[in-house]
Homo-oligomer: A and B are copies of this chain.
């Protein structure tokens, strides 16, 4: 029932950390909206697994990961619940969480590209699949918290996902060593995201206020 997915690859092991981390940041958002404990766990699971779920539904890739391995649901719910108990600590470890969330972004992006390759997608779709996997969970979290998604207006996030995906695809296209390239892509993506947070790199904004009717 709680059979483990294969843990032979670096990516699979990192994905557990990523699921827990994204669930924990979602739990903090839930706390700001005074959700109840069940709501916190649900929001955590939706955020952590939502990106991959949307990607799988869009490419028709069944069964879903958490359908086959419900352990992911348990990890997400456990991460969210732990955050309720340790909220003060989680906040103090803010930096650690930004790193963990960035790990999630990069790991999910690579996993998304992998799935798209499995169904023979073209390059643009591989990049989009990576981006959806890395970013869509956070969009669901913000919708459920009744906010305009951070993804559309904050520091580089989708762009990190696109760059990570392109870098990953380059190596795979050149048939370079798989495990090594995965680690390299991971380092590049993570560094990019941390620099974006540190120096507040942002896209230019499109501000538009004219009355048009």
The one of B37, B62, B88 in contact with A203, judged by C-beta atoms closer than 8 angstroms, is B37
* A78 lies within 8 A of chain B by Cβ: no
* A103 lies within 8 A of chain B by Cβ: no
0/1 per residue, A153-175, Cβ < 8 Å to B?
A: 11000110000000000000000
A141 to chain B, nearest CB (A): 11
* A205 lies within 8 A of chain B by Cβ: yes
**Chain B residues within an 8 Å CB radius of A212:** 28, 91, 94
The one of B35, B62, B84 in contact with A60, judged by C-beta atoms closer than 8 angstroms, is B62
Copies of this chain present in the complex amount to 3
> How many residues belonging to A are interface residues under a CB distance threshold of 8 Å?
65
A31-B208 in contact given A38-B159, A124-B74 (Cβ < 8 Å): yes
Bound together, the chains give a CA A37 to CA B205 distance in angstroms of 6
**Chain B residues within an 8 Å CB radius of A73:** 124, 128
0/1 per residue, A31-49, Cβ < 8 Å to B?
A: 1111111111011000000
**Chain B residues within an 8 Å CB radius of A70:** 122, 124-125, 128
Q: Which residue in chain B gives the minimum CB-CB distance to A74?
A: B124
A38 touches B84 (CB 8 A): no
